[in-house]
Structure 1
């Protein structure tokens, strides 16, 4: 949301995004307080995953807040489209947050 606060440029006709799905099973297994540091593998993937997406802790449910979509929609032209990907178990929370922010939900594609 830092970007929304700082951006002062032109509005957008569309947004394509893949917000966090809030699938925190890895974080629950490896990121508990008191857990031994994750040291598996040579690339440190388990250690990074235990801290959330890209090491951020704000990523869990940011897409499920209507405030998120209200802030984004401030940078859109009227009638602009948002194409947002969601997890198979959590997409409905994303849709409700967008709708609560005043956005119109169009037909959904399930893959």
Structure 2
């Protein structure tokens, strides 16, 4: 696509495009996500590309925003950890599942207006 942004969300940097969804780790501002279609604005935007024009922030762009919504909370795949001590005849099985949030990008704003395809 001609337009995308690189944002810092959940301790990771993601390349996001409008109309796509991403599963990100749940973090402090998103602790109370219980209802559906919760609106979210992300101001930690590192880079925006619109056609052949690229804007890079140091460390973030001050006038850029990525707006989206959270349709529902979700979970990652379950990681199973097994510990077996053969001589002692003991087995231990523990599972871990990460709390994730599905984030849908609706629009990318730069300089107060939505950046459209060039």
User: TM-score of the superposition, structure 2-length normalised?
Assistant: 0.26
User: TM-score of the superposition, structure 1-length normalised?
Assistant: 0.27
**Higher Cα radius of gyration:** 2
Which structure carries more relative contact order (alpha carbon 8 Å, separation 6+)? 1
Higher strand proportion, which one?
A: 2
